[in-house]
Amino acid sequence: MAWFFRGRRNDNKDTILFLGNSIVKGDVGYNWINALARDVPNMKLVNKGENGSQIPGVINILRKGLEFHPSAIVVHIGGNDVSCSYNEIPALNAGRHG
């Protein structure tokens, strides 16, 4: 991903917001966003990954992340949603027919 950001030159340090689950959050063994930050020092990278995040929760994280006024947002979601049911969320079920 660093190749995408390296070509950008600016004096104001663009802010890139990362949203998602534990893959985004990283762990003590390896955090790919920290590794990316070393490769693109002209960017401010904000890591808002949370363990166990699912799509509805990431929407709430996005609202909080917008406080950083990001220039771009990178989203990685869905892994924790595979075995879940969202029957109780009407907005996610709109358009489904019985």
Domain that holds residue 17: 1-40+50-68
Whether 35 contacts 89, CB under 8 Å:
no
Query: Residue 89 falls within a domain, yes or no?
Result: no
Whether 28 contacts 34, CB under 8 Å:
no
Using CA atoms of 59, 65, 66, 67 in order, give the dihedral in degrees to the nearest 10.
Answer: 140
Per-residue confidence band for 92, with pLDDT thresholds at 50, 70 and 90: low
Query: Residue 64 falls within a domain, yes or no?
Result: yes
Query: Residue 93 falls within a domain, yes or no?
Result: no
DSSP 31: -
Q: In sequence order, what E strands does 3-83 have?
A: 14-20, 43-49, 72-76
Q: What is the pLDDT of residue 38?
A: 87
Q: What is the pLDDT of residue 29?
A: 72
| Count of domains forming the chain | 1
Give the residue, 88 or 73, on which the prediction is more confident.
73
Q: Is the pTM of this model over 0.75?
A: no
Q: Rounded mean pLDDT of 61-74?
A: 92
Q: For the segment 12-65, what is each residue's pLDDT rounded down to a tens digit?
A: 688 999 998 888 788 767 788 888 888 888 889 998 888 878 777 788 888 889
Q: Which two tokens stand for residue 23?
A: 């893959």
Give the DSSP H or E segment for 90: helix 90-93
